[in-house]
Amino acid sequence: MNSYLFLLALIAPPDVTRLLDERASNFSEVAREIWELAEVGFQEERSSALLKAQLEAAGFEIQSGVAGMPTAFIGSFGRGRPVIALLAEFDALPGLSQDATPERRPRAESAPGHACGHHLFGTASTAAAIAVKEWLASSGGPGTIRLYGTPAEEGGAGKVYMVRAGLFSDVDTVLTWHPADGNDASPVSSLANKSAKFRFHGLSSHAAAAPEKGRSALDGVEAMNTMVNLMREHVPQESRIHYVITRGGMAPNVVPDFAEVYYYCRHPEVEVVQDLWRRIVLAAEGAAMGTETRMDHEVIHGIYNKLPNDSLSRLFDENLREIGGIEYTAEEVAFAEKLRATLESPERKIGSERGVQSFAPQLTSASTDVGDISWVVPTASVQIATWVPGTPAHSWQAVAAGGMSIGFKGMVLASKVLATTAVEIFANPALVEEARREFEERRGPDFVYESLIGDRAPPLDYRK
């Protein structure tokens, strides 16, 4: 911390880390409640309401239902610039229900679960925003802290609709985080991603008595999948294409007149995703022609890769190292060891949660709608150990750790890193200018943001 910040800290209490420690149990209860609710994308009514209630009680002004999404919101406090935004996710994943135990034990069969830790994500960001608000109110200086409640990150691309609506147009920096199995503030890029549901329509008939009269929609789906799978040999090696058949018919003795397949396509560059997508649509059209079925498709989401910002990431890294990592109790170590025994070749060891990973640029094979935000506002993210080391995201093991003290400790650490970094930027607005210069250089002078979802409305029913 430079001398200016040191003097400011002496005259402008409170200490945000102390505030967050004092309120850790309250926010752990909020996170646990959202974990139990496990509401999927665009259906997070109660989870969203819980976070808004915390902000309202702290004196934030709330805008609900923004960008055409009932569970999206913005909480704002302060006046003037800089405007610093924190992001809060809160959607769960289908079919990953799990109790907070180190052995597989679904709370309800086929029910959703917080396998990506968004209950911790949203709660930590909310806690940090409230702590920063109290610091701002005490300092009396200019600046605005905002908390963006962003629904349906898992395939619904809620943030894209907020970007498209211009809700980040006056924001100076965006600070965010994500649950993980280690602590790392390195600048990370991600894969751009586009998805759609391809729907085939055929003619039903008796599969044995009159098969010649039928035209199988499932044949259309399977023909499409075969062509796309053949295409895999002829795509850039960083590409990722995956699908699930969501509807395939109801009975084997009936030629199905409707079938649906849900596709994702990813690559580190948006332009490559767009070209691969063109080829996937051609495969679907060819499959329909070859099976004499009719095909239509609904784009569900499309997101950019993340544009890193080294200057903001270094602020995160400095504050994370100063605060330190996670310390497990003996009971938590026992839990971690038992859960770790269920993992397939875990890379990180128990104990790594106490440290911080080396600062180095990275590319992840995951995708996030934070990507779109990062192309319109300087953005940085930090990963915090909320899961047992070696745990992959989207696993029942992530749900288990996220529902007990291991996850809650990581959540509190995340809130501290977010809050201290935001305070540092408010105290030294030159940091905003530095981040903006890097942002403009990386983005390039001719960049114009165009959403990959076009003008479609938010797919509020995509999880139904």
Q: Which domain CATH number covers 51?
A: 3.40.630.10
| HSE-up of residue 376 (Cα within 13 Å, Cβ side) | 25
- pLDDT of res. 140: 87
Sheet containing strand 83-88, edge to edge, reads 61-64, 73-79, 143-149, 83-88, 173-180, 379-385
In angstroms, the CA 344 to CA 219 distance is 36
Average pLDDT over residues 146-158: 96
What residues are paired with 164 via a beta bridge? Answer: none
116 with 179: CB under 8 angstroms? yes
Q: Which domain CATH number covers 256?
A: 3.30.70.360
Residue bearing tokens 């569900």: 300
Residues 347 and 407 in one domain: yes
Structure token digits, residue 443: 């983005």
Q: Is residue 396 part of a domain?
A: yes
Average pLDDT over residues 339-352: 94
- pLDDT of res. 22: 96
Residues 237 and 163 in one domain: no
Residues 16 and 75 in one domain: yes
Structure token digits, residue 251: 């009975």
Q: What is the amino acid identity at position 138? A: S
Q: Is residue 372 part of a domain?
A: yes
Question: What is the DSSP code (8-state) at residue 322?
Answer: H
How many domains would you assign to the chain? 2
- pLDDT of res. 12: 44
Residues 26 and 165 in one domain: yes
Taking each helix axis as running N to C, give the angle between helix 405-427 and helix 310-323, from 0 to 180 degrees, rounded to the nearest 10: 120
Q: Is residue 207 part of a domain?
A: yes
Closest to 121 measured CA to CA, from 145, 78, 92: 92
Residues 332 and 201 in one domain: no
Structure token digits, residue 116: 């990506």
Average pLDDT over residues 282-310: 97
73 with 48: CB under 8 angstroms? yes
- 110 three-class SS: coil
Residues 314 and 407 in one domain: yes
Average pLDDT over residues 261-290: 97
- pLDDT of res. 63: 98
Residues 297 and 317 in one domain: no
- pLDDT of res. 41: 97
In angstroms, the CA 227 to CA 237 distance is 18
Structure token digits, residue 397: 């093991």
pLDDT at 7 over 80: no
pLDDT digits 0-9 by tens, 212-271: 999 999 999 999 999 999 999 999 999 999 999 999 999 999 999 999 999 999 999 999
Q: What is the amino acid identity at position 270? A: V
How would residue 14 be classed by pLDDT, with cut points 50, 70 and 90? confident
387 with 397: CB under 8 angstroms? yes
- pLDDT of res. 347: 87
Residues 208 and 321 in one domain: no
Average pLDDT over residues 355-380: 96
Residue 99 CA from chain centroid, whole number: 22
Average pLDDT over residues 386-396: 97
pLDDT digits 0-9 by tens, 407-427: 999 999 999 999 999 999 999
**3-state helix vs strand vs coil in the chain, percent to 5:** 40, 20, 40
How would residue 6 be classed by pLDDT, with cut points 50, 70 and 90? very low
Percent of the chain scoring above 90 in pLDDT = 95
Q: Is residue 451 part of a domain?
A: no
Domain boundary residue among 263, 287, 303? 303
How would residue 2 be classed by pLDDT, with cut points 50, 70 and 90? very low
Question: What is the DSSP code (8-state) at residue 253?
Answer: T
Residues 158 and 24 in one domain: yes
Q: Is residue 457 part of a domain?
A: no
Name which residue leads in pLDDT, 464 or 196. Answer: 196
Q: Is residue 97 part of a domain?
A: yes
Average confidence score pLDDT of the chain: 95
Residues 335 and 346 in one domain: yes
Q: Is residue 412 part of a domain?
A: yes
Q: Which domain holds residue 264?
A: 192-303
Residues 122 and 247 in one domain: no
Average pLDDT over residues 63-86: 98
Sheet containing strand 294-303, edge to edge, reads 240-247, 258-267, 192-201, 294-303
Domain boundary residue among 282, 303, 324? 303
Residue bearing tokens 């890294």: 317
Residues 252 and 393 in one domain: no
pTM: 0.91
| Number of Cβ atoms within 10 Å of the Cβ of 322 | 12
pLDDT digits 0-9 by tens, 303-324: 999 999 999 999 999 999 999 9
Question: What is the DSSP code (8-state) at residue 72?
Answer: -
- 356 three-class SS: coil
- pLDDT of res. 49: 98
Residue partners of 295: CB distance under 8 A and separation at least 6:
198, 199, 200, 201, 220, 224, 284, 285, 287, 288
- 71 three-class SS: coil
Name which residue leads in pLDDT, 350 or 5. Answer: 350
Q: Is residue 455 part of a domain?
A: no
How would residue 1 be classed by pLDDT, with cut points 50, 70 and 90? very low
